[in-house]
Amino acid sequence: MNEFLRVAIQAKVGSFELNAELAGDKEIIALFGPSGSGKSSILNCITGLQRIEKGEIVVGEKLFASSDRKICLAPQIRKCGYLPQNPSLFPHLNVAQNICFAINQENQITQQSRLRELLSIFHLEGFERSRVNELSGGQAKRVALARALAAKPDILLLDEPFSALDEDLREELALEIKNIQRQLAIPLILVTHSGQEALFIADKVVVLKGGQTIKQGSPEEMLGKKEHSGKTQYSW
């Protein structure tokens, strides 16, 4: 099995003990489990916002962290695209300025080229000068995703990206995320407590409980299969 991504970590977050493992290729991995199972803590460890006590995090040929080798790269060096559960766009900036905020150190030609590319990918052409308070919920999510991808990250981390969206928008955005992940060919880790979301979007599911990895495998193996009627029967 190809393992572009390897995470085997132990960390203490307050009184919470995290002991998790996951591995995968350049695919979509859903972290599935109830609230408080450690899903968001894993993302924080990968980004470097939370230090690990033991283990290692490897993305491609880059070693993000290793307790044995005493390596812990700073968050800005890790090149993670991160979309938290409630992403905050800058209200005083327009759409273009929000997207380019992560690459404002680049020259104007590079910024404008990347901006045009992202506006096209997320169907935001014509909204460049719009203020974020003029956007719909779905458009705001797309701007936040575009900003997370502006610096061409090596991995994309999404913490419940479909929250606060209606069902039609959830499905539409999920399809866009799947297509974008295939285009970029980078690993994408998605946090969810919805079995339906995991079945719909993920190539692999990691099931967590109490800070520990319980099992991981294909969505159908982990969560159940769809019957011919179209209804889903879950195994948890």
Task: Say what the pLDDT of residue 234 is.
Answer: 36
pLDDT grade, residue 195 (50/70/90)? Answer: very high
pLDDT grade, residue 231 (50/70/90)? Answer: very low
CB 6 within 8 A of CB 29: no
Alpha carbon dihedral 102, 104, 109, 115, in 10-degree steps, equals: 30
* 1-78+189-236 CATH: 3.40.50.300
pLDDT grade, residue 73 (50/70/90)? Answer: very high
Per-residue CA distances from 118 to 21, 59, 98, 158, 222 (Å): 32, 24, 12, 17, 34
Q: What is the DSSP letter of 116?
A: H
Q: Name the pTM for this structure.
A: 0.91
pLDDT grade, residue 141 (50/70/90)? Answer: very high
CB 10 within 8 A of CB 52: yes
Task: Say what the pLDDT of residue 225 is.
Answer: 62
DSSP 9-49: EEEEETTEEEEEEEEESSSEEEEE--TTSSHHHHHHHHHTS
What average pLDDT score do residues 157-179 get?
90
What average pLDDT score do residues 179-194 get?
94
**C-alpha to C-alpha distance for 102 and 79, rounded to whole angstroms:** 11
137-149 vs 167-184: helix crossing angle, rounded to 10: 20
Residue 192 reports pLDDT greater than 80: yes
Residue 235 reports pLDDT greater than 50: no
φ, ψ for residue 142, nearest 5 deg: -65, -40
Q: Where are the domains of the chain?
A: 1-78+189-236
